[in-house]
Amino acid sequence: MTAWTYGAWAFAAGVLIPVMAILNGGLGRAIGSSSWAAVVLFAVALAAALAVAALSGGRPALGALANGKPWQFAAGLIVLFYVLSATYLTPRFGVAPTILLVVVAQIVTASLISHFGWLGAPRQPMDGLKAAGLALMVAGVVLTQVRRS
């Protein structure tokens, strides 16, 4: 795959995040529970992930799970927190402010992880230009949300 292909894939994933948030938020309202909407989302996601895994070929031995660090399994808890948060917040706070704050937080956090090489990430030091870009994004969030308060 090329960098353009990876970029298009990442862009598509980004496009679908607010769509997922509003769809699951609507499901939560329809069934009267954000928590149960998240359960339904994860059930559908599990079924789809199992299908993709089955189609992708061989599966790792269950013993291979022991190779994972205990903290790496926390990713499941993080995605649960995100889905529950987006499902609850989107219909109440709005899709744009919810996703805007999530995305800016992701970019700032990703920049810090890359700068320091945390969690085994390749180190990509931040320079003044990157820091200025991050500051502009944070300022953009403030400017787009100032009327909400």
Alpha helices in the chain (DSSP H): 3-31, 34-55, 74-93, 95-116, 128-145
Distance, in Å, from the CA atom of 115 to the CA atom of 113, rounded to the nearest integer, reads 6
What's this model's pTM, rounded to 2 decimal places? Answer: 0.83
pLDDT of residue 146: 79
pLDDT of 149: 56
Report the domain count for the chain. 1
pLDDT at 59: 85
DSSP state at residue 72: G
Extract the residue ranges of the chain whose pLDDT is less than 70: 148-149
- CA 17/CA 24 separation, integer angstroms: 11
For residue 85, which of 132, 139, 17, 146 has the smallest C-alpha distance?
Answer: 17
Range of the domain at 99: 3-148
Question: CA-to-CA distance for 9 and 6, rounded, in angstroms?
Answer: 5
Q: How many Cβ atoms are within 10 Å of 90's Cβ, its own excluded?
A: 25
